[in-house]
Amino acid sequence: MKRTFLIAGNWKMNAGPTEASALSKEIASLWKDKSFSSEALICPPFVSISSVVSGFEGSDFKTGAQNVSNEDNGAFTGEISTEMLKDSGCEYVIVGHSERREYYNEDDELVALKAKKVVDSGLKVIICVGEILSDRKAGRAEKVVKDQLNTALNQLDGDLSDQVVIAYEPVWAIGTGETATPDQAQEMHKFIRSLLSNHFGTEVAEKIRILYGGSMKPDNAEELLSQKDVDGGLIGGASLKADSFSRILAIAESI
């Protein structure tokens, strides 16, 4: 079955409102008068979300967030709710990025609660999973990914193929210039689809997109995106330049 590619940029803690406005307009202008059949998305920092939503106005590009609270509006200083994200024009929310897990102690249970909160709010969630290098070297990569994913899936039920996206991001490949080989990516994506199938059934699992993340760039996007179970990319560094993000989208369009 053919799944629609999702090309998602994660700007991390880069691009405040002024820069985000310029960069999103530049991305949209590269596709002016050209349509694309993939879905394309940028996740800027919270304070830049409205700038990106405005910058993308009149284009097919969408806006997402990099994180969200698992709580509803209330006394949670410094947090941002799903309701606020919807109000800002976001359509997607990333949860469980490895940098959140590593630097902000987000564990599988919290990530699962966030994923549920996003889905319940009607937004779409990108759930990140991935092993660190020592896990891979010790042959534990699948076990780690399975535990991360199943904890999140336990909170989710029904045909959520429209609302749930998984991103496989081997932590050793993030921001390092190291990429998983296409075979390594395909092998893990296939394993992730089997876990999705165990939980949701095959029909739903076949519709859920699984993104690869970790040093994806124009030079390696084609071989990664050509893998059977790779349905798009979660792109950090290469999404901070309009040209490289746009080239990855063009590659997805050509496959």
Short-list 26, 85, 80, 16, CA closest to 51: 16
Residues in the site for ligand PGA, rule: CB under 6 A?
A: 10, 169, 174-175, 213-216, 234-238
The residue among 23 and 234 lying less far from ligand PGA, judged by its C-beta, is: 234
Residue nearest to ligand PGA according to CB distances in the complex: 236
Options 39, 97, 131, 189, the catalytic residue:
97
The residue among 96 and 237 lying less far from ligand PGA, judged by its C-beta, is: 237
Distance CA 32, CA 115 (A): 34
**Considering the complex, what minimum distance in angstroms separates the CB of residue 238 from ligand PGA?**
6
**Considering the complex, what minimum distance in angstroms separates the CB of residue 90 from ligand PGA?**
17
**Considering the complex, what minimum distance in angstroms separates the CB of residue 239 from ligand PGA?**
7
**Considering the complex, what minimum distance in angstroms separates the CB of residue 46 from ligand PGA?**
17
Could you tell me how many residues make up the chain? 255
Would you call 97 a catalytic residue per the annotation?
Answer: yes
Distance CA 119, CA 108 (A): 16
The residue among 139 and 177 lying less far from ligand PGA, judged by its C-beta, is: 177
Beta-ladder partners of 166: 127, 210
The residue among 152 and 234 lying less far from ligand PGA, judged by its C-beta, is: 234
DSSP 182-218: HHHHHHHHHHHHHHHHHHH-HHHHTTSEEEEESS--H
Options 99, 131, 169, 189, the catalytic residue:
169
**Considering the complex, what minimum distance in angstroms separates the CB of residue 94 from ligand PGA?**
8
Would you call 169 a catalytic residue per the annotation?
Answer: yes
The residue among 66 and 81 lying less far from ligand PGA, judged by its C-beta, is: 66
Annotate 197-217 with b (16+ C-beta within 10 A) or e (fewer).
eebbeeebbebbbbbbbbbbb
3-state SS, residue 130? coil
Beta-ladder partners of 212: 168, 233
Q: Which residues are catalytic?
A: 97, 169
